Amino acid sequence: MQLMEQMIVEYGKIYPNNVLKVDSFLNHQVNINLLEDLAQEIYRLYKDFEITKILTIETSGIMLACFVAQAFRVPMLFAKRIRGVKIKNNVHSAQVFSCAHDKDYTIYVDKDYLGSDDKVLLIDDFLANGYSMKGLVQLAQSADATVVGAAVAIEKGFQGGGDILRSLGLRIESMAIIESMGEDGIVFRQ
C-alpha cells in the first residue's frame, strides 16, 4: 500500500539494531485517517471470508485491530500478557518469545470469547521475526478456531518471520514490506 510506504519514509525513524520508530503516526500518536484507510484495505482483501473475530496481541496492535473490527462489524479480541484474577483457568494460552525483552511470556484469551465457531483474522502493527503472530495462531488453534489469515501494517521482510509463516500456509497481507533499511534509507518490496 503506497500510503503506508509514504508515511514510513516521511515520518519513520531508523535506529540501530533494525528498529523502525513509527510512533508519530501508528503506535503512540495515532493517525486516525491512516488507520481507517488501512482497515478499509484489509477489509477489501478479506471481505469474502466470513470473519467473526479480529484477534491481536496487546498493546500496539489494538488500535489497528479496532478499526479493522469496525470495518468487518465483528468483535475485536486481544490476547493479554497478564492473566487477570477474574480469568483464572478459563483461558486459551500460548507462549511467545519477546525479542525486545529477550524472554518468553504467555498470552491469554478467555475461553468465553474464542471458540470453534470463530473464523479469525489476525492483526498486528509489525511483523518481524513472527513470534507474536505464531503465538496468535497457536492461541486460535487451541480454541479450535479457524485462522483465515493475517494482516499487518508493516512487515520487516528482511527479518524473515513473514516468509516462515507463509511457508506454513498462513496468508499474510502486509500494507508495507521493508526489504532493507539503514543509513541509506528504506527499500520496500515491490
Q: What is the mean pLDDT of the chain?
A: 93
How many distinct structural domains can be found in the chain?
A: 1
| pLDDT tens, residue by residue, 19-45 | 999 999 998 999 999 999 999 999 999
Q: State pTM to two decimals.
A: 0.94
Domain containing residue 85: 2-179
CB neighbour list of residue 150: distance below 8 Å, 6 or more residues apart: 121, 122, 123, 124, 127, 133, 136, 165, 170, 171, 172, 173
In a domain, 187, yes or no: no
* Helical axes 2-11 vs 32-46, angle rounded to 10°: 150
Instruction: Give the Cα-Cα-Cα angle 179, 149, 43 (nearest 5 degrees).
Output: 90
In a domain, 139, yes or no: yes
| pLDDT tens, residue by residue, 55-85 | 999 888 999 999 999 999 999 999 998 766 6
Whole-angstrom distance, CA of residue 190 vs CA of residue 178: 9
CATH code assigned at 60: 3.40.50.2020
